[in-house]
Structure 1
Amino acid sequence: MIAAAPQGPVDIPRIVTELAAGRPTRAVWENELGGLTFQVGLGDQRQFVKWTPAGSGIDLAAEVARLRWAAKFTVVPRVLDQGADEAGAWIVTHGLPGRTAVDDRWKRDPGTAVRAIGAGLRALHDALPVADCPFDWSAEKRLEAVRSRAAADRIDPADWHEDLQHIGTVERALGVLTDIPPADELVVCHGDACAPNTLVGDDGTCTGHVDLGALGVADRWADLAIATWSTQWNYGPGWEDPLLEAYGIAPDQERITYYRLLWELSD
């Protein structure tokens, strides 16, 4: 499975029920590692509880550190609480205005959604100061992790996206990734710039970003390659160029191809 809104009943972890304290609770997102996000409460008072099962490998403490740093410069969820027990870990954040860019409303109006994603990503990159950022998401660091996964035989080419199947083998992929393109422009990247992580207001503009657990300094194409790729999954073909136009940049196919491969092997 891929990350998406749950399609059936979801077992609510005990801690989520306790944190909700009788308020309306519904699951709004589920990822491929069993992590769940719940909306608690309604309207301006709504909060979100992100919960991950023990052993999932998701580091919510790392996300909390990034959210608290980024909140000084841009609109991201405000952390209200965090914790862990034998079942899993969680963070509680205050809700932001807007709806995810993959809400049904925006899926019916992809032109508005992709413009908001592109412009919002540009605003994020412009707002976050590279010199002050303590987090690294560089290709060099990520490639080290990919090599470790490969050495542990944890990369299966059969699982790769169809756009990358022609590469064929892990060895060939590692050869491609070893040749890191020179950075076009270093920015503080979101780290998971897929469409669902941009929030869009009723006026069609970006109102904030969520899920910043991998935020760090990298070439801006590390974000742009994935943001454009995700338009295929969420809206269909034809929306990559409008997103780049809203960001204010021309396509760079070499860097797009490189960072999509790095992304695929990093999962």
Structure 2
Amino acid sequence: MEFPEEVLRAVGAGAVWSSDHEGLSGDVWKAGSSYVKRAGVDERERLLWLGEHFEMPSIKAFADGWLVLANVGAPSLASADPLVAATVMGTTLRSLHALPIDSCPFDARVAVVLEKARRNVEAGLVDPDDFDDDNLGATPSELLERLVATAPPDEDLVVAHGDFCPPNVLHRPDGSTVLIDVSRLGVSDRHRDLALAHRELGEEAAAAFDRAYGLTPRPERLAWYRLLDEFF
């Protein structure tokens, strides 16, 4: 893997590189005290904006589609006890969703995400082998038709993370949290986040999540936003 000079300078000449770390894929590397990941301008802009309201990993460099982030020194909730993870996630999400939507410059309303889903299908970026079990056997085009036909007529808008799941919430021993992987952040129905949290946590932990968040989700909205996630 070749990295831009700006990235290498930000990481440091003596950094040890590894992709064998919790929650990291082939496009995310740990390098010394930094993380290096594939990312577009969208994620960089969202990191900067959300950093005005929440603690976020600081950006050390951004060049040629590679983002260098400082290691905040906190593990993700992916390996935490599910009930602990659920409670922390519910409390954290309640704070995120309390941000005024007028302050957020990023749009992830239904019309916007439907158009992005359509472009992803047309570009061949939606893999039917990765669909949830109840959608296996459908083609991306068939699933898109279902998504459009069942789109909600109204939205309960908040500033949504867009990929709110345990690996994307870092949790320190003092109880503070740091959000990562915010490339989908934008003004959206709150159920976009609730749906993914429910899917990842399971039934028992999801109940604890709902108590911490302070709201009982609408099942039909959870189902639609889970369907939406198949396209991203």
TM-score w.r.t. structure 1 length?
0.75
Alpha carbons 1:35, 1:51 under 8 Å: kept: yes
| Counterpart-to-counterpart distance in 2, 1:90 and 1:148 | 23
Determine which of 70, 76, 99 is the counterpart of 2:75: 99
Percentage identity across aligned positions? 31
User: Pairwise mapping of residues 143-182 of structure 1 onto structure 2 (< 5 A)?
Assistant: 143-152=114-123, 154-165=125-136, 168-178=138-148, 179-182=150-153
2:51 maps to what in 1?
Answer: 71
Amino acid at match of 2:196: I
Gaps of 5+ in 1: 1-10, 42-47, 53-57
Aligned CA distance change for structure 1 residues 158 and 76 (closer, same or farther; 3 Å): same
| Counterpart-to-counterpart distance in 2, 1:24 and 1:172 | 46
2:226 maps to what in 1?
Answer: 260
- Is 1:115 equivalent to 2:87 in the alignment? yes
Q: CA deviation at 1:23?
A: 4.0
My pick for the range that moved more, 141-150 or 193-202, is 141-150
Runs of 4+ in 1 over 6 A off after TM superposition: none
- Paired residue secondary structure (1:256): helix
Deviation sequence 1:144-193 (CA, Å, 0-9, x none): 12223334555454431113338x44454233322321445211111211
Q: RCO (CA 8 Å, sep 6+): is it higher in 1 or 2?
A: 2
Q: CA deviation at 1:130?
A: 0.9
My pick for the range that moved more, 148-157 or 187-196, is 148-157
2:113 maps to what in 1?
Answer: 142
- Paired residue secondary structure (1:38): strand
2:159 maps to what in 1?
Answer: 188
| Counterpart-to-counterpart distance in 2, 1:153 and 1:80 | 33
Q: CA deviation at 1:227?
A: 1.7
Amino acid at match of 2:220: E
The size of the alignment, in residue pairs, is 227
Q: CA deviation at 1:241?
A: 1.8
Aligned CA distance change for structure 1 residues 110 and 130 (closer, same or farther; 3 Å): same
2:29 maps to what in 1?
Answer: 37
Deviation sequence 1:187-237 (CA, Å, 0-9, x none): 11112111101111214x3422111111111001011101221224xxxx5
- Is 1:240 equivalent to 2:206 in the alignment? yes
| Counterpart-to-counterpart distance in 2, 1:170 and 1:215 | 23
Deviation sequence 1:240-261 (CA, Å, 0-9, x none): 2211221111131100000000
1:227 maps to what in 2?
Answer: 197
RMSD: 2.5
1:207 maps to what in 2?
Answer: 177
Aligned CA distance change for structure 1 residues 40 and 165 (closer, same or farther; 3 Å): same
